[in-house]
Amino acid sequence: MQGNEQQAYDRGITIFSPDGRLYQVEYAREAVKRGTPSVGIRTADGVVLAADRHARSPLIERDSIEKIHEIDDHVGVASAGHVADARQLIDVARRQAQVNRLRYDEPASVEALTKEVTDYIQQYTQTGGARPFGVALLVGGIEDGEPRLFETDPSGTPYEWQAVAIGGSREDIQRFLEDEYAEGLDLEGGIELALRALASINDDGLDPTGVDIATIDVESEQFSTLPEAEVSDRLAEFELGGEE
Amino acid sequence: MYDPENRLTDAYEPEVGSIPADEGTEDDEAVVKTGTTTVGISTEAGVVVATDRRASLGGRFVSNKQVTKVEQIHPTAAMTLVGSVGGAQSFIRSMRAEANLYEVRRDETMSIHGLATLAGNFARGGPYFAINPIIGGVDEEGSHVYSIDPAGGVLQDDYTVTGSGTMVATGTIEGEYDPEMSIEDARALAIRAVTAAAERDTGSGNGVVVAEITADGVDIDAFGDYASAA
């Protein structure tokens, strides 16, 4: 009977267990850990987002594995966890970014946009019949000329970071970042740190087609992704590439 | 079930409260209007907004002689009340609520351009009943004066005039304005413009209210006669 009582708090709607836990939200965090990792680095010159997008099969079209998304000119998102869940949140962020432009004729602030998304996530932890989002996001962008980097988690809590990892092997990558992150980093240094962080849990090295990198720099305030050839050059330069 | 669509804020409506339903025209004779002359002049040091104090019924009867037609809506911005008094007052309350929400949520104040865009959206989105306000304010970018027309047009200028006394007041400012003028000179010019309109426009009169807006805040003074204002 003991087993049945416990189960009653982790089925269907999200309700508190007697010891104050929300099992469904905790399970959603487990779903995030099952995803391949993404990394965000804030530097003085802008924000770097990097994602491991390993392919299950060489026959899959690589471009169809999307882990980094442009939200608006000046904001990007990297995800870890359920891709389908991520897409819903990304569309909320994209529309909210345009609502801000419509309403105020101004680009959305990264912090306000993140909080719109986390408020949205939170609703799915408190509504009957809803399932929490099994995804964490890194929201990076430029706000009033300053780089900002936020994380959203399945409970709907926003966190701001200098450097952060989400998804599988998060603890190991975060420890690596804590040891290696330096405040004076430039954008190129941020890209190197992001690649090294992803490689730190990958004994076989990184494959240029298996890594996605995007930057939003303070000068252009534009989201841009790094072409595969440039990722490849850097992996060779930093000796992070796998054996061919 | 939670409706995700409702999470998105409508860009053309206030977030709290609602736009009044169409007020119709059958009671038009009974609606108090401001007639009005409102003037906004921007200088390097700040913005001066000046208005008359008359409210009238059908342009034939002075229904109130001490209306304050410029109100603070933001820590460093003010808006004038032009058109139907009911529409303009609820417009001001909505704008104030929006500016407060924005500030408390983001820990920074709305830019004056953002404020003017929002006002234009509201004017366009709902029947606020023929309002034609001026927004004057100061932000990180400097001093700004905007006029909002009833169809939602948002126009920035160095100085602008709205209301029934527009022609007279604009003529007073025209040729006298200098972008480098002091805020004291701008204040004197704004008062002269409202005074001239009060002399010739039947919808304007009964004294002047002056708002001075700088980076430090909004300061509003009312005067029963034009001499004491100057």
B172 is known as an active-site residue: no
Examine the pLDDT at A5 and tell me if it is beyond 80: no
A136 contacts A153 by C-beta, under 8 angstroms: yes
Question: Measured between CB atoms, which of B2, B106, B117 is closest to A105?
Answer: B117
Among A10, A36, A23, smallest CA distance to A165 is for A36
For residues B105 and B101, give the distance between their C-alpha atoms in angstroms, rounded to a whole number: 6
Q: What is the pLDDT averaged over residues A68-86? A: 97
User: pLDDT band at residue A115, thresholds of 50, 70 and 90?
Assistant: very high
Q: Give the residue ranges of DSSP H helices in A54-133.
A: 83-104, 110-123
Question: Inter-chain contact B111–A102, Cβ cutoff 8 Å?
Answer: no
Q: How far is CA A162 from CA A44, A220, B156, B192, in A?
A: 10, 20, 39, 56
One-letter amino acid at B108 equals E
Which structural domains are found in chain B, ordered by start?
31-229 (3.60.20.10)
Residue B172 vs residue A9, higher pLDDT: B172
Which structural domains are found in chain A, ordered by start?
47-237 (3.60.20.10)
- SS3 of A111, please? helix
Examine the pLDDT at B187 and tell me if it is beyond 90: yes
- SS3 of A2, please? helix
Examine the pLDDT at A1 and tell me if it is beyond 50: no
Among B119, B113, B80, smallest CA distance to B97 is for B119
Q: What is the pLDDT averaged over residues B18-39? A: 71
Examine the pLDDT at A180 and tell me if it is beyond 80: yes
Question: Inter-chain contact B7–A120, Cβ cutoff 8 Å?
Answer: yes
**DSSP one-letter string for B54-96:** -EEETTTEEEES----EEEEETTEEEE--SBHHHHHHHHHHHH
For residues B193 and A80, give the distance between their C-alpha atoms in angstroms, rounded to a whole number: 62
User: pLDDT band at residue A9, thresholds of 50, 70 and 90?
Assistant: low
Q: What is the pLDDT averaged over residues A167-187? A: 96
Examine the pLDDT at B29 and tell me if it is beyond 90: no
Task: Produce one character per residue of B20-59: b if its CB has 16 or more CB atoms within 10 Å, e if not.
Answer: eeebeeeeeeebebbbbbbbbbbbebbbbbbbbbbbbeee
What is the CB-side half-sphere exposure of residue B130 using CA atoms within 13 A?
Answer: 15
> For position B2, what pLDDT does the model report?
45
Examine the pLDDT at A119 and tell me if it is beyond 60: yes
Examine the pLDDT at B25 and tell me if it is beyond 70: no
Mean pLDDT of chain A, nearest integer: 92
Q: Which of A89-93, A208-212, B5-9, B148-152 has the lowest mean pLDDT?
A: B5-9
Give the model confidence (pLDDT) of B196-210 as tens digits.
Answer: 999 999 999 999 999
Q: Which two tokens stand for residue B92?
A: 């001001």
Q: Report how many Cβ contacts below 8 Å link chain A to chain B.
A: 48
ipTM of the complex, rounded to two decimals: 0.82
Q: How far is B91 from chain A (nearest CA, A)?
A: 16
Give the model confidence (pLDDT) of A48-76 as tens digits.
Answer: 999 998 888 889 988 888 899 999 999 99
User: pLDDT band at residue B22, thresholds of 50, 70 and 90?
Assistant: low
What is the CB-side half-sphere exposure of residue A80 using CA atoms within 13 A?
Answer: 29
Q: Which two tokens stand for residue A242?
A: 């796998």
Interface of A with B (CB under 8 A): 88, 92, 95-96, 99, 102-106, 109, 111-112, 115-116, 119-120, 123-124, 127-130
**What are A43's strand-pairing partners?**
A46
B60 close contact with A: CB closer than 8 A = no
Q: What is the pLDDT averaged over residues B45-57? A: 95
Residue A7 vs residue B204, higher pLDDT: B204
B94 close contact with A: CB closer than 8 A = no
Residue A130 vs residue B167, higher pLDDT: B167
For residues A172 and A202, give the distance between their C-alpha atoms in angstroms, rounded to a whole number: 11
Examine the pLDDT at B1 and tell me if it is beyond 50: no
Sign of CA dihedral B46, B52, B57, B63: positive
One-letter amino acid at B221 equals D
B137 contacts B80 by C-beta, under 8 angstroms: no
Among B2, B146, B136, smallest CA distance to B71 is for B136
Residue B83 vs residue B44, higher pLDDT: B44
- What are the E-state strand segments in A161-201? 163-166
Give the model confidence (pLDDT) of B104-133 as tens digits.
Answer: 999 999 999 999 999 999 998 776 666 899
User: pLDDT band at residue B34, thresholds of 50, 70 and 90?
Assistant: confident
